[in-house]
């Protein structure tokens, strides 16, 4: 998940700064009578996902053995909780990066730490002069481009794919995007969403770029391929409850290729598993359905496929959708989706207790497809690269290899998980016919 940096925060309620890791000496919140979710149970899921990533080249991205093992793990846990589990096939295009290099002003940069290749980048080699081209969001930004120039654009305002399309139409042989929020730990992974861009597209940290970069000689090389494949959503539903209405919650199961994705989004996955166990197979009213989405990091592909598979009657059955994407950030600011359904937000707020901030979620995660289909949505979020307490990033390991089990604040996650489970029970009771 990546929320806009310039205008995302509508109101920030900075709670007392949370300790990173396992919550330090912070006392564990008192468990509610129902649901009784514990920190130890959540930790078991985080550690299991970490082990899966460790055994799969350090990640759990869609189309890899790490993702497939994550599907198996989640499906088994939901069946153990007494829920009905289905695995929905999702066609998608897998992106494989074989090699890449970036040299700027004679300095060869390190992939991961100083630059990244965007998923679905084209392959090729280009050498020339870096030429500043603004944000790259309009054709006019590339009007001054000369033969041999490699446009250098800012990350902000529009999607990576728009920038790449504009550069390609202008005749550029490669595109370099500079990333101002990159940390000393590395450059976050990103995606062009779908194949079709023929030129190499890389993101470089401004720290590695040095001065503006404008006018520096550069060489970009990318060797990658995109090929058709198939992955899976995991959908679980209570066998009990009133089948005429559905209360739904979900979060993406995949990581980026650049790391294990334990806060993004093993935290949401762990929350959903524990919510299933807390709610149980017989909810108090409407049935409850949970979804673990495939290929969110490649462009919301799993949730898009699912929503598109529903007919009008099935969409109308879904009374509410709650999204869980990054809910254990180590420097957290717990928030609701400001642009979500207000009534649903009030249920989440009451379940959480302390005042939550608000963030404009836009189209940043899987909720976007439900909202577009007319289904009431809201969600919980604790932050990615935005500034948090002390002016530090809420999650300095966002989309990086350091997003490990040690990157999750267990105390924050525990509060989010308990709030989620309580909210689902309340919503189930509310929507019973």
> Among all residues, which ones are annotated catalytic?
296
Count Cβ atoms below 10 Å from residue 343 Cβ, excluding itself: 12
The number of residues in the chain equals 433
Cβ burial 286-299 (10 Å sphere, 16+ → b, else e): bbbbbbbbbbbbbb
Tell me the DSSP string of 175-202.
EEEEETT-BTTB----B-SSS---S-EE
CA distance 192 to 207: 23
CA distance 416 to 149: 49
DSSP state of 265: I
270 membership: H or E segment, kind and range: helix 267-279
Burial class (CB in 10 A: 0-12, 13-18, 19+), 367: buried
240 membership: H or E segment, kind and range: none
Q: Smallest Cα–Cα separation from 116: which of 35, 28, 201, 49?
A: 201
Tell me how far apart the terminal alpha carbons of the chain are, to the nearest angstrom.
35
β-strand partners of 337: 359
CB 321 within 8 A of CB 250: yes
Instruction: Count each helix (H run) and each strand (E run) in the chain, helices first.
Output: 10, 15
Going 369 to 371 to 375 to 376, the CA torsion angle's sign is: positive
């Amino acid at each position: 998940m990546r929320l806009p940096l310039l205008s995302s925060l509508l109101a920030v309620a900075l709670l007392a700064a949370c300790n990173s890791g396992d919550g330090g000496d912070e006392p564990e919140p008192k468990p509610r009578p129902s649901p009784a979710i514990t920190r130890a149970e959540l930790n078991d899921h985080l550690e299991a996902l970490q082990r899966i990533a460790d055994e799969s080249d350090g990640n759990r991205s869609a189309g890899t053995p790490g993702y497939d093992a994550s599907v198996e793990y989640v499906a088994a846990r939901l069946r153990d909780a007494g829920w009905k589990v289905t695995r929905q096939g999702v066609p998608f295009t897998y992106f494989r990066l074989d090699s890449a290099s970036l040299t700027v002003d004679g300095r060869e940069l390190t992939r991961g730490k100083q630059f990244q290749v965007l998923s679905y980048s084209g392959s090729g080699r280009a050498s020339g002069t870096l030429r500043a081209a603004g944000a790259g969001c309009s054709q006019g930004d590339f009007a001054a481009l000369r033969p041999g120039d490699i446009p250098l654009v800012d990350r902000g305002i529009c999607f990576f794919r728009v920038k790449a399309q504009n550069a390609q139409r202008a005749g550029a042989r490669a595109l370099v995007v500079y990333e101002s929020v990159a940390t000393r730990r590395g450059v976050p992974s990103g995606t062009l969403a779908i194949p079709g861009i023929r030129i190499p597209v890389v993101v470089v940290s401004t720290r590695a770029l040095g001065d503006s970069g404008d006018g520096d000689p550069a060489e970009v090389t990318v060797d990658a391929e995109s090929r058709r494949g198939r992955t899976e959503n995991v959908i679980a539903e209570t066998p009990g409850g009133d089948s005429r209405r559905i209360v739904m919650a979900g979060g993406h199961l995949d990581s980026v290729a650049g790391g294990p994705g334990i806060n993004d989004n093993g935290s949401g996955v762990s929350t959903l598993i524990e919510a299933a166990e807390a709610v149980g197979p017989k909810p108090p009213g409407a049935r409850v359905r949970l979804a673990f989405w495939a290929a969110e990091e490649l462009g919301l592909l799993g949730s898009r496929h699912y929503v598109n598979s529903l007919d009008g009657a099935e969409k109308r059955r879904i009374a509410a959708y709650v999204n869980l994407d990054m809910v254990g950030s180590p420097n957290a600011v717990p928030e609701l989706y400001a642009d979500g359904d207000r009534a649903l937000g009030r249920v989440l707020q009451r379940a959480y207790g302390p005042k939550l901030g608000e963030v404009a979620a836009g189209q940043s995660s899987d909720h976007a497809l439900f909202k577009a289909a007319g289904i009431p949505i809201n969600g919980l979020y604790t932050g990615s690269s935005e500034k948090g307490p002390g002016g530090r990033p809420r999650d300095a390991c966002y989309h990086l290899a350091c997003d490990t089990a040690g990157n999750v604040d267990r105390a924050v996650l525990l509060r989010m998980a308990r709030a989620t489970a309580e909210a689902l029970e309340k919503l189930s009771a509310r929507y019973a016919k």
